[in-house]
Structure 1
Amino acid sequence: MGLLLITINWYSLTMCILKHHKNINTVLEWPDQSSDLISLKIFVKCLSVYFETYGCQMNVSDTEIAWSILQKAGYSRTHELPEADVVLLVTCSVREKAEQTIWNRLKHLTALKKRSQKHKPLLKIGVLGCMAERLKTKLLEQEKLVDVLAGPDAYRHLPRLLSLAYGGQRASNVLLSLEETYADVMPVHQTPEGHSAFVSIMRGCDNMCSYCIVPFTRGRERSRPLSSILEEVRMLSDQGVKEVTLLGQNVNSYRDLSEQHFICSEGSTQLSRGFKTVYRTKQGGLLFSDLLDKVSQIDPDMRIRFTSPHPKDFPDEVLQLIQERRNICKQIHLPAQSSSSRVLHAMRRGYTREAYLDLVENIREIIPGVSLSSDFITGFCGETEEDHQQTLSLVREVGYNVGFLFAYSMRKKTHAYHRLQDDVLAPVKQRRLEELISVFREEATKVNMALLGSTQLVLVEGESKRSSEELCGRNDGNVKVVFPKTDLPVQPEKPQMVPITPGDYVLVKITSANSQCLRGHALIHSSLNDRRTSEHLLSKQTI
């Protein structure tokens, strides 16, 4: 049951509600006779909110936070648009294409709202997240496509903003905060089959890369208290979650300053060798290595991942911890963006091609067999063919198994927008992107082919999209693994066969590979703790 407390012109809205909304109880509280306004308490049974989430994993986490706040305020959630009283879009502004997708969706929803006035007069549309902050005036006043706007730091105010919207106002709060981390809000996780979850550990970014809008839409870096994160991870472990991904715009620059003795500690930022920042060295606090240490101890059978990091924040102590802990995945996302030192300087990334390659060498020396993924941008301001060829050569030299590749899209407010020229033609950007994708696939195929004949521990996600007779999951390196659905033994020497379900760990023998996935056949149920024992017993059977 949802509760809205609104001060409005009582007669017109009351008649509208009584006529059009079936599932309501109303209680009218009359003021003194001189006023034509009343305080109308509308108890709406199952006032439903519908979310659409666009962009990165942080937006998935933000959706869970926003839903937790609205659920506490009395709303119910629907996954069917026609059932919704409130439609909320959690948005992304990183690239122009993402924004255009949301603009098109908003126009469709606005048209739907107009057509639904007779049978759905209370329908409200809201935009949350980065796009709300960046385009508030255009969304609310010029285009008039939405009723509610809430920036990334304003989700606590959603119940009040919706109340204002139901009172006939267009409501917004897009102020950025230096402190908001939603540490006291326990997200309502909507995980597939409950086997994996995202946990936000910090918000914002201080790096100020010249192409990036994030510092302007998400604000400055601030980290969630360690105690709050550990509480959420323990709760997820108790619920049977088998994999947690720690999230942040610059996740490995985590620094907990929530308590005085943390602030006064002697720890200072330790950067990767050869890297620098645009800001002064930060002092004090509990660092990412401290967090990773504590989180990985909660449940030895729960995988720990993290994203998205910056290459500058990989000191040796973080790498050594990843190598030592069995449940921290031996997979590192290492966004390069370019491999031309000249372009990297223009991007304000804080490193050269040589420093990046030195870091890759150091990672592979400390974590043998590590899987690497990366981000790249083609056609950045001033990029030449020689710069582009250097990027292609880096991809060939490093050998990533996963990549996120995009043509450059200039964003207002950024350093590049004010200081640089977007002088690479769109067809050239696209051609370079296609070349980069082609080289990336070639190298990813080589990396994955090297796993032929190996046995991979796979966390099962569910049925394959292409066949109900196959299952899929991901290995430690975050590569998709597909295998036939079958019953498996729990122990090699025992005949009892058990079905495979989402959330199970199974050992899979790899028989084929391409640039995007591995294929094989499942051998036995297993776990992070039992993997070595299972492999040993299987090898004895083979002998």
Structure 2
Amino acid sequence: MARLDGLVGRTYFVRTFGCQMNLHDSERVCGLLDSCGCNMVDDPAQADIVVFMTCSVREKADTHLYGEASNLVRLPQAPSGRRLVAVGGCIAQRDGARLKERIPNVDVIFGTSALSSLPSLLVGSLSSGEDGVLVDIEEEGRDFSCVLPSRRARAFHAWVPIMTGCNNFCTFCIVPYVRGRERSRVMERVVAEVETLVADGVREVTLLGQNVNSYGRDLYGKPRFAELLRKVGETGIGRIRFTSSNPKDLSDETMAAMAEVPAVMPHLHLAVQSGSTRILRAMRRSYTREGYLDLACRLKRAVSGIALSTDIIVGFPGEEERDFEDTLSLVREVGFSFAYTFIYSRRPGTPAAKIEDNTPHEVIQERFERLARLVEEEAFVSNQAELGASVEVLVEGSSKRSATVMVGHSPKNQTVLFDLPKGASPEGLVGRLCTVKVAAARPWFLRGTLEGELR
């Protein structure tokens, strides 16, 4: 991409909130700004350009954005004299120019489909002065962001979008309104991208979509995710992960591909949201408690040793104690290796936001804490099964607490810690595969000793 002269030499900082799709989009934003001659910094105080990539799924993300953007006015002057503030992602798509009311210092607002316009918007803002805001939230006629340059956060891992948008319109979810309807990439382009990544030394890819199980329905008349998994597996990539999966669309063909493609990791994040059929219907989730439990059983039969993780919402409007007890019992029956648990967050514009609910916050908080304790217990039981086992680990770097303790993830997506070998440098291990014999198992990690040679 040709440099835009107004950006050459400027420094930038990117802050990302939310899901893996936002992480991918942030990598593309960084690649775009690099290609324009900008230089990345790790401190907003040193940045001429600060970009916030936002999530609108929960209210907390809005609060974080408003707080961090407001704090920028207290920073010292930018190196170039003027600091540009850009907001992208789902909040930008949802609010558009109205964001200026909450963030007076914002200069540029760009939507989920408008990543490619960021450089020209920044240059335009520099030219127009400090009072106005430039906005691009158009969706029509935009290509996938994966065609843009990228700065990967990890050389050994890549996010690979296979589709964007969602057709499900769950009553609590804002995603279809800010990401649009389902739109799939052509299969050959996805495979070609993975082939390029393999040639570049990438060892693991994560296939991304709001509902990957629907992949291809809009292009080919029916979902072809199972076929895509098989074709990506033929590229020579070492590890394949994917997210997100809606239970209603998980097919037997996909389960078979998961079992038969060696590169597909034996872990699936399968959001249940609630264990109560009554609440699932109110959420418009299109499956029942019994259907989810049957699916989990079939997955465990089809994919040997698979680990299941999930998302669960506590306090959805109208949830009663019996509904919550159904959620607890489902967690026990499935035996999740991990669960992201959330207190329901009312999102303006969604059907659930109109539902009145008088459940006291103290009751919802107490339920949330009970669920969190149960999730931790189940995660502990799941990890205890690995004691004495040898697990393959893709090394990601040193742990946050010690430079001599390395961290990586197992095929089941468990965090695994082991000591740095004597005489080795942490940098030399990053992106390598190794085998770790598990000596200790805690709810959120495994700890062991290195076995054999690094690969």
Where on the TM-score scale, by shorter chain, does this alignment land: which range?
over 0.9
User: How far apart are 1:178 and its partner, in Å?
Assistant: 7.1
Give 1:142 deviation, angstroms: 5.9
Aligned residue identity for 1:343:
I
Equivalent position to 1:244, from 177, 186, 205: 205
- 1:377 alignment counterpart: 313
1:251–1:306 Cα contact (<8 Å) kept? yes
The aligned runs of 1:296-375 (5 Å cut-off) are 296-299=233-236, 302-375=238-311
Q: Which position in structure 2 is the counterpart of 1:32?
A: none
CA contact (8 A) 1:199 1:245 kept: yes
Is the 2:70–2:103 contact (alpha carbons within 8 Å) kept by the matching residues of 1? no
Residue in structure 1 matched with residue 231 of structure 2 by the alignment: 294
Q: How far is 1:403 from its partner?
A: 1.0
Q: Does structure 2 conserve the Cα–Cα contact (< 8 Å) formed by 1:224 and 1:256?
A: no
Aligned partner of residue 311 in structure 2, secondary structure:
strand
Shift in alpha-carbon separation, 1:140–1:487, aligned structure 2, 3 A: same
Distance in 1 between residues matched to 2:276 and 2:193, nearest whole Å: 41
Unaligned runs of 5+ in 1: 5-41, 270-286, 489-497, 528-543
- 1:47-96 Cα offsets, whole Å, 9 max, x none, are 22221111111111011222333333443333332332211111111111
- Work out which of the residue numbers 107, 112, 136 in structure 2 matches 1:173: 136
Residue 153 of structure 1 aligns to a residue whose secondary structure is coil
Match runs of 1:226-265 below 5 Å: 226-255=187-216, 263=220
Cα distance in 2, alignment partners of residues 102 and 183 from structure 1: 25
8 A contact 1:183–1:228 mirrored in 2: no
Query: 1:43, 1:375 → 2: CA distance?
Result: 44
- State the Cα distance separating 1:487 from its structure 2 match: 6.0
Aligned length: 451
Q: What per-residue deviation string (whole Å, max 9, x for no partner) do you get for residues 386-443 of structure 1?
A: 111110111111111111110001000101123x224332222211111101001111
Give the TM-score of the pair, scaled to structure 1.
0.79
Alpha-carbon deviation of 1:225? Answer: 2.1
Match among 504, 522, 537 for residue 450 of structure 2: 522
Q: Secondary structure at the match of 2:147?
A: coil
The answer for the alignment partner of 1:201 in structure 2 is: 162
Give the match's secondary structure for 2:86: strand
The question of whether the paired residues in 2 share the 8 Å contact of 1:178 and 1:222 is answered with no
Question: 2:318, 2:51 → 1: CA distance?
Answer: 39
Aligned to 2:433: 505
Alignment of 1:441 with 2:376, yes or no, is: yes
Give a deviation string over 1:76-131, Cα, whole Å, max 9, x none.
Answer: 3333323322111111111111110111001101343xx628x6532111100011
Q: Aligned in 2, Cα 1:178/1:440: closer, same or farther, shift over 3 Å?
A: farther
Aligned partner of 2:111 in structure 1 is 151
Once the two structures are TM-superposed, the CA of residue 197 in structure 1 deviates from its matched residue by 1.8
Instruction: Tell me, in whole angstroms, the C-alpha distance in 1 between the residues paired with 2:171 and 2:8.
Output: 49
Q: Following the alignment from structure 1 to structure 2, what is the Cα–Cα distance between the partners of residues 290 and 482?
A: 35
Identical aligned residues as a percent? 39
Asked whether the equivalents of residues 65 and 185 of structure 1 are also in contact (C-alpha less than 8 Å), the reply is yes
Looking at structure 1, the residues matched to 182 and 427 of structure 2 have their Cα atoms a distance apart, in angstroms, of 45
Structure 1 distance, partners of 2:141, 2:320, is: 39
Residue type at the aligned position of 1:160: S
1:459 aligns with 2:420: no
Measure the CA separation in 2 of the matches of 1:500 and 1:65.
Answer: 26
CA–CA distance in structure 1, aligned partners of residues 203 and 3 of structure 2: 36
The residue identity in structure 2 corresponding to 1:173 is: D
